Amino acid sequence: PTSGGEAVANPQAVPTGRNLYAVNAEATPSEQAWTKGKELVENTLAQYRKTHGDYPRKVSYTFWSSEFIESEGATIAQVLYMLGVEPVRDAYGRVSDLRLIPSETLGRPRIDVVVQTSGQFRGAATSRMRLIDKAVRLAATDPDGEFGNYVREGSLAIVKALISSGM
């Protein structure tokens, strides 16, 4: 088996005639997708701050399988970076773990996220859904720090609302 795709974008796709897969989900977000995702987050936050004068408290993303395959996980990278979490790669280039970006390195609050997925994405990238769940949990348990943590604030507000409603 080998990755497929367009030969210029993915030279490993040649020679043809092998069993092809669209993307190695375990290696996402790829290094290139991580760089692109961080850039997109910085641009989004800069535009939002220019318009509204502050950081957004929550940002939503929709994951589509076709975009995931084409970008090798750039939207996943955006979600991780909004949360202030970065991928940890193993010796094979797979994203096998996550770590919090220190608040002083991040230089901004951890932004809460809402993620909506297509069914095909969930089927193609189940392990990435678990990765995002872990990222949210990591961010939610981090103390507020110097810049604030909207993930933690949102999680605590949900817990409070559930308890006050009798759960």
Given a cut of 70, is residue 6 above it in pLDDT? no
pLDDT in the model for residue 102: 94
pLDDT in the model for residue 132: 94
pLDDT (mean) for 96-115: 95
- Lowest mean pLDDT of 16-25, 81-90, 118-127, name the range: 16-25
Given a cut of 90, is residue 65 above it in pLDDT? no
DSSP 24-54: -GGGPSPHHHHHHHHHHHHHHHHHHHHHHSS
**pLDDT > 90: percent of the chain:** 67
pLDDT in the model for residue 145: 76
Given a cut of 90, is residue 131 above it in pLDDT? yes
Q: Where are the beta strands (DSSP E) in the chain?
A: 2-3, 20-21, 58-63, 85-89, 95-100, 112-117
pLDDT (mean) for 52-79: 92
Question: Quick one: pLDDT band at residue 123, thresholds 50, 70, 90?
Answer: confident
Q: Which two tokens stand for residue 42?
A: 């910085």
Neighbours of 161 (CB within 10 A): 10
For residue range 68-94, what is the model confidence (pLDDT) as tens digits? 888 889 999 999 999 999 999 999 889
This prediction's pTM: 0.86
Given a cut of 80, is residue 15 above it in pLDDT? no
Helix axes 74-83, 31-52, angle to 10 degrees: 60
